[in-house]
Amino acid sequence: MAGNWKMYKTAAQTTEFFSQFAPAVASATHAEVVICAPFVNLPAAVEAAKSTNIGIGAQDVFWLKEGAYTGEVSAPMLAAIGCKWVIIGHSERRQYFGETEETVLKKTVAALEEGLTPIVCVGERLEEREANATEEVLARQFQGGIQVLDAQQFARIVIAYEPVWAIGTGKTATPEMAEAAHAFLRSQIAGHFGQAAADACRILYGGSVKPDNVRGLMEQPDIDGALVGGASLAPASFAGIVNYL
Ligand code: 13P
């Protein structure tokens, strides 16, 4: 269960969040719990999550280790401060910051080299769904950004399916729609990496997940977790999602 805070909260608000959230999920053993905070708040988040069952992640990473790349942050820098996870290829980065299948792949490999767990995002836009192109888009994103990994690398990533039209809109995909996309992704994985790798891969759903719709999503056989934006910002609502059982 991963929270993506996007561009929200200061360092002080980060610390405040954990003081309420950590006790509320302390007994959750059915899921890994992750918060992906803005870069500048990662030290505060790592500090606040010490001695808890919450892992900390970033929302992006550059693919080179260091160099003259103004504004970028590398995987070794993230690993050095105690970050364990990183979201890669979020649709907002694809839409506003020129992320492509190629950059997603390079960032994923760079994260894996430093021992970070990449949460690689895929998902179709509204016009693509309306044109019945969802599977074509997912296949393209899978084949260009994920399938190129070797089997050992693939075994260490998490995939997030986030239909762009469901992000921040309150329009959750129905559990059946989400399940169909997840099942398709798992069939793509099976076709390339084999059935065992497909069964073992965790595929998260993201897009307007809330405490009151998470259970129906999690009941689907191919939905293994959630990547939560807006509803991860308040301790009670994200704890309600984590503790959905
Ligand atoms: P919302 O939960 O706010 O729709 O955001 C989903 C998302 O983009 C998570 O990465």
DSSP of 81-93: TT--EEEES-HHH
CATH for 2-242, options being 3.40.640.10, 3.20.20.70, 1.20.120.1200, 3.40.50.720: 3.20.20.70
CA-wise closest residue to 56 among 27, 87, 29: 87
CA distance to 106, 160, 167, per residue, from 113 (Å): 11, 20, 30
What's residue 232's pLDDT? 98
**Segments of the chain with pLDDT less than 70:** none
Handedness of CA 228, 231, 232, 236 (dihedral sign): negative
Measured distance CA(38)–CA(157) in Å, rounded: 21
What's residue 20's pLDDT? 98
What's residue 42's pLDDT? 98
Domain ranges of the chain: 2-242
- Ligand 1 binding pocket includes 237 (Cβ within 6 Å): no
What's residue 171's pLDDT? 83
What's residue 136's pLDDT? 98
CA-wise closest residue to 120 among 81, 82, 147, 150: 147
What's residue 148's pLDDT? 96
What's residue 173's pLDDT? 87
**Do 73 and 62 contact (CB within 8 A), yes or no?**
yes
> What is the value of pTM for the model shown?
0.97
CA-wise closest residue to 72 among 63, 81, 80: 63
What's residue 170's pLDDT? 84
Question: At a CB cut-off of 8 Å and minimum separation 6, what does 191 contact?
Answer: none
**Do 241 and 210 contact (CB within 8 A), yes or no?**
yes
What's residue 82's pLDDT? 98
**Do 124 and 133 contact (CB within 8 A), yes or no?**
yes
Mutating to test ligand 1, I would choose from 227, 232, 241 the residue with most ligand atoms within 8 A of its C-beta, which is 227
Active-site position among 101, 124, 162, 179: 162
